[in-house]
Chain A
Amino acid sequence: GAGVSQSPRYKVAKRGQDVALRCDPISGHVSLFWYQQALGQGPEFLTYFQNEAQLDKSGLPSDRFFAERPEGSVSTLKIQRTQQEDSAVYLCASSLLQGGGGYTFGSGTRLTVV
């Protein structure tokens, strides 16, 4: 597709449930980022991939969060044993090159933990 596609758009999870969020970047984009955006806040960095290599995961808030991009294209962000504080919009962004900030963001997945 022409843009970054994220699915599902909305996810309601019961506390303690595991969830998986998918990101389809723009074809050929090398860099892929995950950000977390809490209500009323700016996005916060979670993790970064260059192709299939996860080069930075310093923003992942706990070991319940795990991301992968096994073939260097589609990426999945997994959250285990969800907690209420995990409720947020999870944004994926991709870029053709390594840097400069010229990313294209997806529309995000809004996760609500009840």
Chain B
Amino acid sequence: GQQLNQSPQSMFIQEGEDVSMNCTSSSIFNTWLWYKQEPGEGPVLLIALYKAGELTSNGRLTAQFGITRKDSFLNISASIPSDVGIYFCAGTTFPTGTASKLTFGTGTRLQVTL
């Protein structure tokens, strides 16, 4: 099935550094979401974006919904060891199309060193 393209695929950073990752799609979405998944757990919602151009923050996390509605990015500022995990973007065409069916990205694996 379709998966959105995320980059980078993985990254090693030092504690305190800022992190940027992005997600691109060949099709338009009406809602963009960012999830974090830790080993043995399901994805946990971090940020939801509902409007093209929207910039939303959640603590040290900031995400933007691209103007073209085909991309989004996530920034993490001042990373800490507990930021380790896999970050997934996801898009949905809701409220049009199949209600709330999510298309996920390929994931960015983040590892933080002390």
- Chain A residues with CB under 8 Å of chain B are 4, 31, 33, 35, 40-45, 48, 50, 55-56, 58-59, 91, 93, 95, 98-103, 105-108
The SS class assigned to the A binding surface is: loop
- Interface size class on chain B is 20 to 34
Excluding A4-B42, A35-B104, 13 further A-B contacts by CB distance (< 8 Å) are A31-B100, A33-B101, A42-B4, A42-B106, A43-B88, A48-B98, A56-B99, A56-B101, A59-B101, A91-B42, A100-B48, A101-B48, A103-B45
Name the distance in Å between B22's Cβ and chain A's nearest Cβ: 15
Q: Which of B85-109 contact A (CB under 8 A)?
A: 88, 90, 92, 94-95, 98-107
Task: Report B-chain residues with C-beta under 8 Å of the C-beta of A105.
Answer: 42-44
Cβ-defined contact, A48 with B43, below 8 A: no
Q: What total count of A-B pairs have CB within 8 Å?
A: 83
Question: Complex: how many Å from CA A42 to CA B94?
Answer: 20
Cβ-defined contact, B31 with A101, below 8 A: yes
Q: Which of B73-89 contact A (CB under 8 A)?
A: 88
Question: Complex: how many Å from CA A72 to CA B44?
Answer: 24
B1: CB under 8 A from chain A?
Answer: yes
Question: Complex: how many Å from CA A91 to CA B35?
Answer: 14
Assuming the A-B contacts A41-B107, A91-B42, are A100 and B31 also in contact, with contact meaning beta carbons closer than 8 angstroms in the complex?
Answer: yes
Interface centre among A41, A42, A44, A98, by most B CB within 10 Å? A42
24 contacts between A and B (CB under 8 A): A31-B99, A31-B100, A41-B107, A42-B4, A42-B88, A42-B104, A43-B88, A45-B102, A45-B103, A59-B101, A91-B43, A93-B42, A100-B31, A100-B50, A100-B94, A101-B45, A101-B94, A101-B102, A102-B45, A103-B102, A105-B42, A105-B43, A107-B40, A108-B42
Cβ-defined contact, B44 with A99, below 8 A: no
Cβ-defined contact, A99 with B92, below 8 A: yes
